[in-house]
Amino acid sequence: MQAFKDLFRQRNFIEHIRQYNAQFNFTSIGTNEVKHSGSGPKTYCIQGQLTHNIGPLQPSLNRSGNLRQPSFAQIYMHTSEEQLQHRRNMFPAFSSRYTATIQRVMDLHNPLARTYATTKERLRRAEADGTSGGNLQIVLKAVGGAQARTHNLPTVAQLAVIMEGDGSEPTEGRHVVLQSLNSNRFTAIRETNPLHDSLQFPLLFPMGGPGWEYTMTKTDGKSLSLRAFFNYWLQERDGDDFSDMLHRSSMLFKMYTTVGFVRVETNRLRYISQNGD
């Protein structure tokens, strides 16, 4: 883990940190990023709607009937060696050593990555038994907020469950069901999902734990808002690995705070629309 933390002190890594994060994120981000010219500090600016989506467990077929190249979470359905190759192919000029360091951390410590590895193994066994395994699906569970993202590392069972089904089974509304191999459907990740940040920013949350949950409360028992949660996590704290990595992450930090602002505003507008002024 120390080798991973040391990456945030490497200038070349920080200069391309958004690209390294893109090698490992589970979700795709949909928005119109506005590029500003000039000699000032780099900014991350977006315009219009912001969406986060996660795709089916495997790529769709191309016109030749072959599987397309995996992307985002689909890459985690492969062996570690295959994952490394796919990620290196995304940015061939980037450091293979940096990518391999991140890969080791995800393999060892990230329960979301392990969920995909378990699904891959179950599919392999299904094929060996002569069954398709096409009805397998991953359910990302809307766990409570008691698990702090830098403490009490959550287990795979607390974050996700692998089950048989065709997507019609009843689940709690806040759960996210990732469809089986036979589906081409993309699933939107709402701003209130506790795993939102871990899915989009794996370099900032390599342990894959849950973030804000609407049932979280302050020490006085009052509800903890998403805005207050972000206010806390954005503070610099001595001796806190998360705080140190976050504030060293340059453009990824700017992207995280921009997405966080949009999440807060979207959540506020949703509350107003449902409850009035």
pLDDT reported for residue 139: 75
DSSP string, 130-169: T---TTEEEEE----TTS-TTSSPPPHHHHEEEEE--S-S
Over pLDDT 90: what percentage of the chain? 40
Q: In 3D, which of 71, 54, 77, 75 has the Cα closest to residue 186?
A: 54
pLDDT of residue 214: 83
CA distance linking residue 262 with residue 48, whole number of Å: 10
Nearest to 165 by CA among 179, 149, 176, 154: 179
SS3 184: coil
The per-residue pLDDT for range 231-247, each reduced to its tens digit, is 998 999 888 888 899 99
pLDDT of residue 75: 94
H or E element at residue 235: none
| Most confidently predicted of 12-16, 53-57, 135-139, 218-222 | 12-16
218 three-class SS = coil
pLDDT band at 52 (very low <50, low <70, confident <90, very high): confident
Look at residue 160 in the predicted model and tell me its pLDDT. Answer: 61
| Position 188 pLDDT exceeds 90 | no
In the predicted structure, residue 203 carries a pLDDT above the cut 90: yes
Give 146-177 pLDDT, tens digit per residue. Answer: 444 444 445 555 566 665 555 554 444 455 66
Average pLDDT, the chain: 82
- pLDDT for 148 equals 42
Q: What is the pLDDT of residues 59-95, one digit of tens each?
A: 877 888 787 888 998 999 899 999 999 999 999 989 9
Q: What is the pLDDT of residues 91-137, one digit of tens each?
A: 998 999 999 999 999 999 998 898 888 888 877 777 777 665 556 67
Rg (CA), the chain: 19
- The confidence score (pLDDT) of residue 150 equals 40
Residue 7 has pLDDT above 60, yes or no: yes
Give the model's pLDDT for residue 270: 85
Please report the pLDDT score of residue 178 as a whole number.
62
Residue 209: exposed, middle, or buried by beta-carbon count in 10 A (0-12, 13-18, 19+)?
buried
Would you state the pLDDT for residue 222?
93
Q: What number is the average pLDDT over the span 134-148?
A: 59
